[in-house]
Structure 1
Amino acid sequence: MSEPLTVILHILDKEYRISCPPEERNNLELAARHLDKKMRDIRNSGKVIGVDRIAVMAALNISHEMLTGTTHKNAAFEDQQRQITDLVARLDQALARHQN
């Protein structure tokens, strides 16, 4: 495992120094940029005031995106499983007819 390094992140006009493994640096920076964008969008909407509230709203929005993305993936997986089961049944029927 590599020695941790300190990464400087800027989120909503504040600087944060975060320690992370070198191999995780890109993911950390991507996550920080995503969070910064969400927080700026919320702040610029003018509907939420206060950095703490903006951070919570951004966290809720990101969590919702993650959960609904997972839900969509699970639904797609279940749909694919149904299609595979249907194809296997049709293949079994075709093979049974061919063998008779």
Structure 2
Amino acid sequence: MLTKVFPIQLKDGKQAEAEALVEEFAPKGPGAEDGTLSFRVYRDPARADYLLFVEHFADQAAYDAHTGSAAYRELIAGRFAGMVVEFVELDHELLVAL
């Protein structure tokens, strides 16, 4: 399993717009992909204009298919990217799960 974590700082005042776009993307992208095991996006109520993406994929090929999809290119690499100040892509390996 491949785990990706993305802390994302948004441009000022973009929280609501970014959240709406992520809600639009979820069923069209990750929700329709066999290799996407989970797609979760968190907001921090104490921090404006910030989202945390936590995503699980079956393997690297599933992640590549995810980022190569038409929905990803249009909504995330396209519209969402214009709302981002900074993001970091972090790979994680599962240690414990309950």
Q: TM-score range by the shorter chain?
A: 0.3 to 0.5
TM-score by length of 2: 0.34
In terms of fraction of residues, the more helix-rich structure is 1
Structure ranking higher on relative contact order (CA contacts 8 Å, 6+ apart): 2
